[in-house]
Structure 1
Amino acid sequence: MQLPYSRVQRILRECELYERNQTTYILPIDYGRQAVGLICKARTDNLSDLRLRLSVILRQHKARFVNRHLFKEAGFIEAVLPDKVLLSLEDFNQTLQTDALWCKATSVTTNSYEKGTVTFQCAPLDLREVKAKLRDCGYKITHSELGHSPKKALVQLPERQLKRYKEFLEQLQQDHDVVRVYDNVRV
């Protein structure tokens, strides 16, 4: 956009100040009085206003703010294994399991075998160490965060309920203060 350097710096300082004045909140949600639970991660400077806005959506979908302790905090690391091209699917999975053990990750999930993208999960306090070890193994880290993982198996919803649930999820995510939503639903 060819803005003057001083203006770019001022914009960055304003954004930083705005971020500093906001707090991150974790809002547990119970959906449809079933085994479905969500964790809504939001950044706001006005929690009561956010809860009021979300309450309208929750009422429409028979959901409520309730913590049933269905989640545990976890570290997530999305990565790409660059030399995956030479590996068969079996060797790829074996490499992932070996690397996960060596790096102290608690689990690993393949996002795309063709692209070599995976997600490692670890204890929250081990996130930095696991990232460093994965880099040493040749992984390219694309994203990492502290998030929430379901404690029990994922819930399978019937097709009609799943469609309604996705609408609910979309409405939640459209709120400008909602950063991320974690759930225990198998999609």
Structure 2
Amino acid sequence: MTRKGRRPLTTAVLTAAAAGLFAAPAYAAGPGGGTGAGGLEVYPATVTPGTTVTVNTTACGSGGTATGDASAVGAGTFTLAPSTHEEDAIGQFKVPPSAQPGTYEIVAKCAGSGAGGKQVAGDLMVTVTSTASAREQSPVPPKGHVKTGVGGALGPDPVQTAAGVAALAVAAAGGTWLLHRRARGDRI
């Protein structure tokens, strides 16, 4: 390919780069509203009433603790303690069975001298039905007969099915015999 033939591709790459298409992804609020850089991560972010929710943050620093507040959804306060993951504070609360569908802000306030007083928040969505729980259920195989309109005229009984097949075979043999006689010129 000549140098001139490569120019449109080079121009397209430079145009895309200028438009920001090849820029590194920035942290944005993800599921649960955490920002990825010290925000509050809520997992699972979408729940049904009665579900236990795990909350974690890196905002409080290494060995930091926090007090969580899920009173917006009716769960009250909970503690976030240092976890085995570096710089993570983690805690849990249970969404009450009486929780109504909607989006709720879950808040954590760091304790201690390093990041003490720092507050982070994340969103929790409560629904009536959960897509995660629907996926976890194993499918139930169908029972009984499927009415498709194809076959089954004699029923599911094997004896009746065999009789039907025999009747069709006799009819086919008789039809073949008649066509053969007609082709030979025999009168019926």
TM-score by length of 2: 0.18
Q: TM-score scaled to structure 1, two decimals?
A: 0.18
Q: Higher helix proportion, which one?
A: 1
